[in-house]
Amino acid sequence: MKKKNFILLIFSLLFLSGRIIWSAETEMTIEKRFLNLPVSKSSDLKTMKLVVNGTAEQEFTIRLAKDVPDYWVFIDVSAYKGKKVKLVVDDATANLSRIYQEDVIAGQDSLYRESKRPQFHFTPKRGWNNDPNGLVYYGGEYHLFFQHNPYDVLWGNMHWGHAVSKDLLHWTEIGEALYPDNLGTMFSGSGAVDINNTAGLQKGPEKTMVVFYTAAGGTSDISKDKPFSQCMAYSNDKGRTWIKYSGNPVLPNVVAENRDPKVFWHQPTNKWVLVVYEKDGHSIYTSPNLKNWQRESHIANFFECPEFFELPVDGNAKNTRWVMYGASGTYMIGSFDGKTFTPESTKKLYTTGALYAAQTFNDIPASDGRRIQIGWGRISQPGMPFGQMMLFPTELTLKTTPDGIRLFSNPVREIELLKKNEQKWDVLTIQEANEKLGQYGPGELLRIKAKIVLEDFWAGLDLGGNTILKYDANFNLINEIPYFTDNPASMELSMELLIDRTSVEVFIDGGKYSYSLERKPAQNAKGLVFTGNPGLKVQSLEIQTLNSIW
Ligand code: FRU
């Protein structure tokens, strides 16, 4: 027999007898809170199982480092204390010897002090985030859940990460709320408090918190043959532990990839309303008890992540409108009778740029009454052990403009609490204003308010040599996007800027239009400068330095 055939024969015999090892594994008794795992960006994605008593409790993909890791990720294993846990990865050459247990995560000492960590925006300790999910206020806490890949700085393994805050500024990340299961990985959704216990799930004194999410069937090995469906989970302990409802899915698949349920209580009809993305738009369902849902209507021309809420116009509670938007933020204003949304205007745009899939909080107390939004900031974080970020929370309002009612967005007032110091000037030349800006070096952790008057048809602001604002008053464009001031004969523009380490958010003319972008690394520490042809006047300039939230 030829050597090649002989090797093939041995190989086949070993394979048939199940002796070839395709995977690597390690076993340990859990004594500490975390398992720390080394990750390398250049390793291939492999599937890892965490097996307890013969059952795969968790299954996810990971790029385990073979030698020097780029960063470390962690799994909270406190639930398995005292138990034997086996880690199995489908790569016989994997190096599992560096995985270790500890009561702190690897890198705890430098956590939130990494060189490019945003300093007044939420980012996860480790891993990728995209959409904010389940935004809800309960018992003095704002809950921010988020699409989370705990094991990579890229998208995948969708879990719901979870953080809480008392002031919308300082966030405490408290760990994963929802883990993938055999119905799918955990795609986007919303949260609410079942104040009247309509679902009958309340046990004890705390109201039941509910979250609605999409189980994205087919996005993992264990959910291979399942379709997308809408599911519910609930908590009886202020959101610290989450129980998946035994009757899931509460809304079986309707069309492929229907997803992102937004749920809220509609007082006038005494019903729950659920808006979900289906095919070419958003469908509205109602329910008396969160468990049985009836399809009521559908509105086309929205993609992903529905939002739907009522707002007073110009602060007048007797004159309200409903606002519907999708992940892009383009919105319609109209009315809602509890079943059907009827738009009364064309589709509008209030924000562009990095923001995507923004959601607003449910159950903000009536005494506060604000509609507060958080958006995913599609901003990369090179070299960091996390990817992306959340944008700064904004308050949404409806205001009458010469063109009709429009949605405005402004940073929440809590931002005042971050103020470190502040300087204000009136009526400056462009040279004087640039001198003032120059005192702030490369321009980080700043809040700037300015009102400029153009001396010709374009003016703007650069940061580190990159354009962050260019207003063309002749073609009516801000950074190439159409923008019209309320007074058509005005050469004025006002702006508010929030500048963190990797992001810039810009709010124009009191929030009539806003946008967000990546803050590129400063070139030669050029900092901030007003630009204009031939120049501009700065009517007023206010610069605040901000404290870190960490
Ligand atoms: C929007 C989105 C959602 C989906 C989620 C998955 O960014 O695509 O439609 O639920 O992200 O992570």
- One domain, residues 267 and 368: yes
Q: 326: Cβ–Cβ under 8 A, 6 or more apart, which residues? A: 277, 282, 302, 303, 304, 305, 306, 307
Ligand 1 centroid to Cα of residue 474, in Å, is 38
User: What does the alpha-carbon distance between residue 387 and residue 262 come to, in Å, rounded to a whole number?
Assistant: 25
Q: In this predicted structure, what is the pLDDT of residue 3?
A: 61
The structural domain count of the chain equals 3
In a mutational test of the pocket of ligand 1, which residue from 159, 178, 188 has the highest number of ligand atoms less than 8 Å from its CB?
188
Residue 247 lies in a domain: yes
- One domain, residues 394 and 424: no
Q: Are strands 24-29 and 84-89 parallel, antiparallel or unpaired?
A: antiparallel
- One domain, residues 267 and 403: yes
Domain end marker among 108, 143, 176 = 108
Nearest alpha carbon, ligand 1 atom 8? 304
Q: In this predicted structure, what is the pLDDT of residue 462?
A: 95
- One domain, residues 506 and 404: no
- One domain, residues 351 and 240: yes
- One domain, residues 61 and 196: no
- One domain, residues 161 and 243: yes
Q: In this predicted structure, what is the pLDDT of residue 357?
A: 98
- One domain, residues 67 and 94: yes
Ligand 1 centroid to Cα of residue 259, in Å, is 8
Residue 270 lies in a domain: yes
Residue 120 lies in a domain: no
User: What does the alpha-carbon distance between residue 464 and residue 446 come to, in Å, rounded to a whole number?
Assistant: 14
What's the CATH code of the domain at 159? 2.115.10.20
User: What does the alpha-carbon distance between residue 217 and residue 84 come to, in Å, rounded to a whole number?
Assistant: 30
- One domain, residues 345 and 441: no
Residues of the chain falling short of pLDDT 50: none
Residue 114 lies in a domain: no
Give me the residues paired with residue 87 across strands: 26, 50
- One domain, residues 258 and 396: yes
Q: What DSSP assignment string belongs to 479-505? A: TTEE---SSTT--EEEEEEEE-SSEEE
Residue type, 67: D
User: What does the alpha-carbon distance between residue 391 and residue 132 come to, in Å, rounded to a whole number?
Assistant: 10
Residue 18 lies in a domain: yes
In a mutational test of the pocket of ligand 1, which residue from 149, 186, 259 has the highest number of ligand atoms less than 8 Å from its CB?
259
Residue 116 lies in a domain: no
Q: Which of 284, 58, 86, 20 is nearest to 150 (CA)?
A: 58
Helices in 166-276 by DSSP H: which ranges? none
Q: In this predicted structure, what is the pLDDT of residue 409?
A: 98
Domain end marker among 411, 434, 469 = 411
Pocket, ligand 1, Cβ cutoff 6 A: 130-131, 147, 158, 187-188, 214, 259-260, 304-305, 327, 356-357
In a mutational test of the pocket of ligand 1, which residue from 149, 157, 262, 304 has the highest number of ligand atoms less than 8 Å from its CB?
304
Q: Give me the residue label for tokens 């700085």.
A: 153
User: What does the alpha-carbon distance between residue 387 and residue 49 come to, in Å, rounded to a whole number?
Assistant: 23
Q: Give me the residue label for tokens 């806490």.
A: 141
- Say whether 63 sits in a helix, a strand or coil: coil
- Say whether 531 sits in a helix, a strand or coil: strand
- One domain, residues 54 and 152: no
Q: Which atom in ligand 1 lies closest to the alpha carbon of residue 131? A: 7
Helices in 426-467 by DSSP H: which ranges? 430-438
Q: What is the DSSP letter of 203?
A: -
Q: Which of 70, 58, 96, 47 is nearest to 386 (CA)?
A: 70
Which stretches of 402-534 are assigned E, i.e. beta strand?
404-411, 419-429, 446-454, 458-463, 466-472, 477-478, 481-482, 492-499, 503-508, 513-518, 528-533
Q: Which domain holds residue 9?
A: 5-108
Q: Which residues are catalytic?
A: 131
Q: In this predicted structure, what is the pLDDT of residue 2?
A: 62
Ligand 1 centroid to Cα of residue 254, in Å, is 17
- What pLDDT, in 10s, does the model give residues 217-246? 999 999 999 999 999 999 999 999 999 999
Residue 527 lies in a domain: yes
Residue 469 lies in a domain: yes
Give yes or no for a contact between 418 and 445, defined as CB atoms under 8 angstroms apart: no
Ligand 1 centroid to Cα of residue 188, in Å, is 6
- One domain, residues 22 and 170: no
